[in-house]
Amino acid sequence: MSKALFIIDVQNDFTEGGALGVEGGAAVAEGVSALLAKHPDVYDHVFASRDWHDADNDNGGHFSENPDFVDTWPRHCVAESPGSDYHPALDFEKVTVHVRKGQGVPAYSIFEGTTDDGASVADKLEELGVLDIDVVGIATDHCVRASALGALEHGRHVRVFTDLIAGVGAESSEAALAELGHAGAEIVTSEALLSDESDDNS
């Protein structure tokens, strides 16, 4: 049995100044790095997802010149572009599993992506024996929501750290957290790690 952290889409295009910048995105990057530095032994595995969209097509209707910001979006996180890079405040050296999603198709959940070695996230979790997953990242009401729901659907124990997420809209983010709580996720802050460490040391 092992524990993993899911860092969802902490990328330049989803933080302040990016194509789809979310207020508080840079703070999430800084906060996640601080958490990993403060609790270096809590996680056996650290997964990080990135949108990684094709440059030469609309990615299955995901990109639009007239986006509705629900199902269609402006161009963002084009593969190999600066916008697709991890935010510079995120210590991605701590990431053990890199996941790319949305390669030519719409994708929100980390489970729709593939790892650098071509594996699905579900298979990677099985391979590594991950049963417990904490979720942080961007955006609460879109890819964080979808990724946490995916982890629950795959039978994992899931916590979402409310101090290390940022959403597009306040109401939609609140609704996403309520949905996740109803589905079985624990909605807590990263202070929960303090009790984890005390349990491990007891």
Alpha-carbon torsion (81, 78, 68, 14), positive or negative: negative
- Does 101 qualify as catalytic in the annotation? yes
Cβ within 8 Å of residue 189, ≥6 positions away: 161, 162, 163
Cβ within 8 Å of residue 188, ≥6 positions away: 159, 160, 161, 162
Catalytic residue among 13, 91, 141, 143: 143
Catalytic residue among 51, 77, 91, 101: 101
End-to-end CA distance of the chain: 18
Residues 40 and 93: their CA atoms lie apart, in Å, by 12
- Does 77 qualify as catalytic in the annotation? no
Catalytic residue among 9, 51, 91, 134: 9
The letter for the amino acid at 154 is H
> Which residues are tagged catalytic?
9, 101, 143
